[in-house]
Structure 1
Amino acid sequence: MFLWFLLALVPATAAVLAIRHPGNVAQTRPDHPEPELRTRRYPRRGDAAAFRQRIESLIPSLSTYGKAWRLAGTVPAPGGGFAVKAEVPVLFFTDDLQVQVRPDPVNGYWLVDVVSRSRKGKSDLGENRRHVVQLLASLDHASEGSEP
């Protein structure tokens, strides 16, 4: 009897988690309802190369379930920006994370958006959101905070 209870509990728990964390993508945006998932603004101190190096050095210092994140490359973006790509190991899978940086055309800030996407599956149970929040918390700390 107890075994049947456990067997029924697993899909029920998975269903509840999938409802609370739908999809397999998490990303920041300026008007996100969750403050921790809003586009970040960091004061421009130095040039784009210095800010890019700061982000690139953060990536391998982060880990998920004891496995270090891997820097996958950096590509230039129009308007003086760039995108840093990373691979985030999650148990038996790998998620793709991209940090998009662009200069604010009006003020002296870097605007930073992050997207994390699962390579497989329809629901990530909130894992990609945790990647985005973890990276931004580290970048906030390394940059001595961001501004609203």
Structure 2
Amino acid sequence: MKTKFFIPFLLLISSILLSQTSNINQENGVANYGYDVVSYFSGKPQHGSAKNAVKYQGTDYYFVNAENKAKFQKEPGKYLPQYGGYCAFAMGDYGKKVQVDPKTYKITDGKLYLFYNKLLTNTLTSWNKDEKNLVIKADKNWKKFTTK
């Protein structure tokens, strides 16, 4: 069976099973599964530490070191993942909040995008096939979540 067949099914199941009340993808109050959002921009995503935590808009963000923490505090918008850290492909294609694999990402035009990558489905592959249009659609869909 082709992976393309599994994408709609897996994204639907993910969206049903996961709590989607928050506009920030978080686990136990920590954004991005504890990964340092600044570290993505150096090309190597790394887990942060509670000792380098910053609370931003009610959510904790962990950082690898004080330097990354300071960079985030100075310019948080520069480092925040798009669409609250939910899957960029799912937001663009389905308008749904879907959990991600924090190690599956892409930086385009200085923006961090995260993607679902489990059970033989890597949505980054699908994103790359039509990124320009999916960004437009995802931006539009995300507004539905943030303008309530």
TM-score normalised to the size of structure 1?
0.28
Q: Which has the higher contact order (CA 8 A, sep 6+)?
A: 1
Structure that is richer in helix per residue = 2
After TM superposition, the score normalised by the length of structure 2 is: 0.28
